Amino acid sequence: MKTLLLSPKLGSGFRGSLPIGLGYLKACLLKEGFTEVKVLDMGRLKVESIREIIHTESPEIVGITTFTDIRGNALKAVAIAKEINPRVKTILGGVHATLMYQQIMENYPAVDIICRGESERTIVELFQALSNAGDLRKVKGIVYRQDGEIVVTEEREKIRDLDALPFPNYDDIDLKKYEDVSGPWKGKPVATIITSRGCPFSCTFCSSRLVWGNWRHRSVSNVLDEIEWLVSQYGIGIVSILDDIPTSNKARFKEFCQGILNRGLHITWRASTRADCVSLELLELMREAGCLLLSFGVESGSPTILKNLNKKQKIEDVVNAFAWCKKAGIKTHFNVIIGAPGETRATIEETKNLIKKTRPTDMDTTNMTLFPGTALWKQAQDEGLCDDSFFLTDQECLYYTGAMTVPEMYQTAREVYFLQARLGGLSGYARLVKFGFEKLRWTPRKVVSGLLPWKRK
């Protein structure tokens, strides 16, 4: 069955990332004998370009990944594919389709099947059933239509042995095109790897655990084998670790870093983690193994806000982590959420004070965004701030406005960025000016749409 796996056009403000998820799906299909599979990243293409792609490729199956902020692009692409060839089988997967499958199936007839959650096993069984006219009810983890009814099959258990998965297939992808947009590797190609899935924490605003479950990890040797493969096969020298919290198990991550040194892998890399999941000893080993940048989801400098977000993180851990990174020679990125439940001018000042104390290399802010299925989404629903009909609109994202208005959030973000600039002196202001032009270039639609009030249908 000739298959096209698509990553849809990205939302405003995003420049594209390696479609590693689709790479995993293709690798699994190839392993089971489904050889006519092509991956296409449409991140920087117009949605309408799928018309020419469908005409050229003539696929029997079109699979598209979905995220909440770009759900509209994915659904438009599905509709166009079906318009061109009504017989094509359309499949959606990804975070948004997993969490909002009922709404999608009820409102978008162009979608034939949805794969929920982890899909490497699901898509293989689905293709086996489709190719042999098998019973779709026996395929765990899917949603489909039969005789006008929506059928939801049994939930699929999470993959315990992640080492059993093949490495992502990038035969259709030019890895050298995925360049970093900022930091020490700006303009250089960066490959993405995933060493673990899931998260042991339950922050109110995050949907990771809803989709991926609790924390599971690959063996260190398996991860190192993949890095060696990326280096030898594609000439990759820079790696971005995509895990939610790769240092969740410090002993395992020490083994990983030591493995990089023992194998003589001459790479540099970055990762994101929590402040309470590092130590000075670990950070010094990470730096020796090539880690140049570590991003922390600090979110707020207010214990009250951290409690409201169920972050389970202490301010002293943040202060220690940033001090240790500086001592180890690792650059730091401080992520701030603005407008969380309970946010006030006083809590914003606490965040500013923490920025002054930690002096991060770089930082970024995001308005408190609502994602389906999360505890925060349910709280906002109870407060009358949202309902599921929002996801039937074309608006990319919806902000929580129970504590601050959207204009107040953007004003606060400006204050935080100017604070960072002042702390950096002339070079800080230079970075701010450059950052401002980048924002204007890449995010005009997101800023404008965020300021627009959402009206319940």
Is the domain of 142 the same as that of 190? no
| Both tokens assigned to 49 | 């370009």
Determine the structural domain holding residue 199 and report its residue range: 174-451
**pLDDT tier at 453, thresholds 50, 70, 90:** very low
Q: Mean per-residue pLDDT for 31-52? A: 88
Nearest C-alpha neighbor of 371 from the set 168, 209, 253: 209
- pLDDT at res. 361: 93
**Rounded Cα distance, 356 and 267, in Å:** 32
Q: Mean per-residue pLDDT for 43-55? A: 82
**Rounded Cα distance, 330 and 322, in Å:** 9
**pLDDT tier at 172, thresholds 50, 70, 90:** very high
**Rounded Cα distance, 398 and 179, in Å:** 29
Q: In this structure, how many other beta carbons lie within 10 angstroms of the beta carbon of residue 281?
A: 12
Domain contains 161: no
**Rounded Cα distance, 372 and 95, in Å:** 10
Residue type, 27: A
Query: Residues 299, 306: contact at Cβ < 8 Å?
Result: yes
- Number of structural domains, the chain? 2
Q: Which of 93-102, 270-279, 421-430 has the lowest mean pLDDT?
A: 421-430
Nearest C-alpha neighbor of 225 from the set 271, 162, 277: 162
- pLDDT at res. 179: 81
User: For residue 11, is pLDDT > 60?
Assistant: no
Q: What are 7's strand-pairing partners? A: 41
pLDDT single digits (tens) 350-382: 999 999 999 999 999 999 999 999 999 999 999
Q: Which of 121, 152, 183 is a domain's end point?
A: 152
**Rounded Cα distance, 252 and 312, in Å:** 22
Is the domain of 138 the same as that of 178? no
**pLDDT tier at 50, thresholds 50, 70, 90:** confident
∠177-20-269 over CA atoms, to 5°? Answer: 70
pLDDT single digits (tens) 409-428: 999 999 998 898 888 877 77
- pLDDT at res. 170: 95
**Rounded Cα distance, 330 and 342, in Å:** 33
Is the domain of 200 the same as that of 286? yes
Is the domain of 280 the same as that of 380? yes
pLDDT single digits (tens) 282-317: 999 999 999 999 999 999 999 999 999 999 999 999
- pLDDT at res. 416: 92
Question: Which residues have a Cβ under 8 Å from the Cβ of 332 and sit 6 or more positions away?
Answer: 293, 294, 295, 296, 322, 325, 326, 358, 360, 361, 362
pLDDT single digits (tens) 431-451: 777 666 555 444 444 444 444
Instruction: Write the CA distances from 208 to 45, 372, 380, integer angstroms.
Output: 27, 11, 19
Domain contains 357: yes
Is the domain of 433 the same as that of 290? yes
**Rounded Cα distance, 186 and 179, in Å:** 7
User: For residue 401, is pLDDT > 60?
Assistant: yes
Q: Mean per-residue pLDDT for 451-457? A: 44
Nearest C-alpha neighbor of 122 from the set 150, 102, 96, 92: 92
**pLDDT tier at 8, thresholds 50, 70, 90:** confident
Is the domain of 128 the same as that of 229? no
- pLDDT at res. 436: 63
Q: pLDDT: is 179 or 214 the higher one?
A: 214
Query: Residues 104, 92: contact at Cβ < 8 Å?
Result: yes
Is the domain of 278 the same as that of 245? yes
Q: pLDDT: is 451 or 6 the higher one?
A: 6
**Rounded Cα distance, 425 and 422, in Å:** 5
Residue corresponding to tokens 């300021």: 451
Considering the entire predicted model, what is its pTM?
0.91
pLDDT single digits (tens) 96-146: 999 999 999 999 999 999 999 999 999 999 999 999 999 999 999 999 999
CA 360 to chain centre: 23
Is the domain of 266 the same as that of 379? yes
Q: Mean per-residue pLDDT for 57-85? A: 93
Domain contains 159: no
We report the CATH number of the domain holding residue 66 as 3.40.50.280
Q: What is the 3-state secondary structure (H, E, C) of the chain?
A: CCEEEEECCCCCCCCCCCCHHHHHHHHHHHHCCCCCEEEEECCCCCHHHHHHHHHHHCCCEEEEECCHHHHHHHHHHHHHHHHHCCCCEEEEECHHHHHCHHHHHHHCCCCCEEECCCCHHHHHHHHHHHHCCCCHHHCCCEEEEECCEEEECCCCCCCCCHHHCCCCCCCCCCHHHCEECCHHHECCECEEECCEECCCCCCCCCCHHHHHCCCEECCHHHHHHHHHHHHHHHCCCEEEECCCCCCCCHHHHHHHHHHHHHCCCCCEEEEEECHHHCCHHHHHHHHHCCEEEEEEEEECCCHHHHHHCCCCCCHHHHHHHHHHHHHHCCEEEEEEEECCCCCCHHHHHHHHHHHHHHCCCEEEEEECECCCCCHHHHHHHHCCCCCHHHHHCCCCCCECCCCCCHHHHHHHHHHHHHHHHHHHHHHHHHHHHHHHHHHHHHCHHHHHHHHCCCCCC
Residue corresponding to tokens 């970024």: 364
Mean of pLDDT over the chain: 91
Is the domain of 103 the same as that of 198? no
Q: What are 272's strand-pairing partners? A: 295
We report the CATH number of the domain holding residue 238 as 3.80.30.20
Phi and psi of 105, rounded to 5°?
-70, -30
Is the domain of 185 the same as that of 55? no
Domain contains 245: yes
